């Protein structure tokens, strides 16, 4: 299949590109600021800014793909607040346009969304549950979902993902990479014992995306996550144990103990039952997710000094 991929240099997009190439698909990929790592092969590389709608229109019509996969985003909630105009363009306007184009080409469209479309009051959210975002990032992801399903109801699948484990090309996007960055700056990280998440490995999510590319029978909003719901604190503990790090690098705290904590959704676990029943790829345990993780390059000096 010929796949038009955005976000190939990101955590999820790079994992998807590797998985899709393993399955023999042809990839036309958009790159922007970050160069493609050597271990990722795209068949065609387009250099451009996805905020430029005329450029996107021309390139998609010219390449005429069978599938569009959108893994580009401003994916950090803080970056959305810092530059709402750019994040609106990437997180809302771009998926809305790609959905229109997919409809026009009768191509499949896979768009990535997030557990942060929910408020976290209940947990174990099903795709049919009422969203209620609590951050600008979450609101943008929800607005995009609505635009995508309106513009390409017969061609689009929106895959909501949880917090992601993995090795990103930049070395700073996944759970352990963010922790290592803070530890190597000398920080003890305070992690909430009452903030539940259901992390997934980016490579596992990528395998799901490849299966969805190859299937004609999926439309609408779907959930995917790992096999183990876990608190932020327990996740930090498990990462420490996996890398054999000192236990005092994380401090166990409650959301109730800080204003910042009280604003964070308590439980963003996702119910993936419907998708899990239909796919070859299955949710992974935390140990399975940790096995491929490497020490981020920028933290290696600190790690070896311990």
Ligand X SMILES: NC(=O)c1ccc[n+]([C@@H]2O[C@H](COP(=O)([O-])OP(=O)(O)OC[C@H]3O[C@@H](n4cnc5c(N)ncnc54)[C@H](OP(=O)(O)O)[C@@H]3O)[C@@H](O)[C@H]2O)c1
Which residues would be at the binding site for ligand X (CB under 6 A)? 7-13, 30, 32-34, 49-51, 71-73, 75, 90, 112, 114, 141, 161, 163-164, 168, 173
Helix (H) or strand (E) holding 257: none
Residue 106 or 136: which CB sits closer to ligand X? 136
Give the burial string for 180-217 (b: 16+ CB within 10 Å, else e). Answer: bbebbeeeeebbbebbbbbbbbbbbbbbbbbbbbeeee
Residue nearest to ligand X (CB): 10
Helix (H) or strand (E) holding 7: none
The distance of closest approach from Cβ of residue 107 to ligand X in the complex, given in angstroms and rounded to an integer, is 19
Q: State the maximum Cα–Cα separation within the chain, in Å, rounded to a whole number.
A: 56
The distance of closest approach from Cβ of residue 10 to ligand X in the complex, given in angstroms and rounded to an integer, is 2
The distance of closest approach from Cβ of residue 248 to ligand X in the complex, given in angstroms and rounded to an integer, is 26
Report the distance separating Cα 202 and Cα 163, nearest Å: 9
The distance of closest approach from Cβ of residue 124 to ligand X in the complex, given in angstroms and rounded to an integer, is 17
Q: How far is CA 170 from CA 78, 163, 173, in A?
A: 17, 17, 7
Residue 294 or 304: which CB sits closer to ligand X? 294
The distance of closest approach from Cβ of residue 216 to ligand X in the complex, given in angstroms and rounded to an integer, is 23
Contact 268, 118 (CB under 8 A): yes
Q: How far is CA 10 from CA 102, 127, 251, in A?
A: 22, 25, 29
Q: Strand (E) positions, 119-175?
A: 156-161, 164-165
Residue 34 or 273: which CB sits closer to ligand X? 34
Report the distance separating Cα 55 and Cα 120, nearest Å: 38
Residue 119 or 254: which CB sits closer to ligand X? 119
At CA 146, angle to CA 197 and CA 84, rounded to 5?
Answer: 75
Q: What is the DSSP letter of 217?
A: S
The distance of closest approach from Cβ of residue 46 to ligand X in the complex, given in angstroms and rounded to an integer, is 10
Kindly state the tokens that stand for 149: 């399903």
Residue 51 or 190: which CB sits closer to ligand X? 51
The distance of closest approach from Cβ of residue 260 to ligand X in the complex, given in angstroms and rounded to an integer, is 19
Residue 100 or 174: which CB sits closer to ligand X? 174
Residue 77 or 261: which CB sits closer to ligand X? 77
């Amino acid at each position: 299949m010929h796949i038009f991929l955005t976000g190939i240099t990101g955590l999820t997009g790079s994992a998807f590109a590797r998985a899709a190439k393993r399955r023999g698909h042809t990839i036309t990929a958009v790159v922007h600021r970050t160069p493609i790592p050597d271990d990722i092969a795209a068949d065609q590389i387009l250099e451009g800014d996805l905020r430029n709608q005329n450029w996107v229109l021309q390139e998609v019509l010219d390449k005429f793909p069978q599938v569009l996969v959108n893994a580009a985003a401003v994916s950090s909630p803080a970056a959305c607040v810092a530059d709402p105009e750019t994040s609106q363009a990437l997180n809302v306007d771009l998926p809305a346009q790609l959905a229109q184009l997919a409809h026009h080409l009768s191509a499949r469209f896979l768009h990535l969304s997030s557990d942060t479309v929910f408020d976290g009051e209940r947990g174990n959210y099903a795709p049919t549950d009422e969203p209620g975002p609590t951050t600008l990032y979450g609101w943008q992801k929800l607005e995009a979902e609505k635009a995508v399903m309106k513009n390409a109801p017969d061609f689009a699948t929106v895959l909501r993902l949880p917090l992601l484990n993995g090795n990103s090309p930049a070395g700073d996007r996944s759970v352990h990479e963010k922790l290592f960055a803070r530890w190597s700056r000398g920080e003890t990280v305070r992690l909430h014992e009452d903030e539940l998440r259901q992390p997934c490995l980016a490579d596992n999510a990528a395998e799901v995306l490849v299966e969805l590319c190859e299937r004609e029978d999926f439309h609408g909003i779907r959930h995917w996550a790992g096999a183990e719901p876990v608190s932020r604190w327990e996740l930090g503990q498990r990462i420490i144990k996996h890398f054999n790090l000192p236990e005092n690098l994380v401090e166990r705290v409650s959301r109730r103990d800080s204003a910042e904590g009280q604003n964070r959704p308590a439980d963003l676990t996702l119910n993936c039952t419907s998708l899990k029943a239909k796919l070859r790829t299955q949710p992974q345990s935390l140990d399975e997710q940790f096995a491929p993780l490497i020490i981020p390059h920028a933290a290696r000096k600190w790690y070896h000094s311990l």
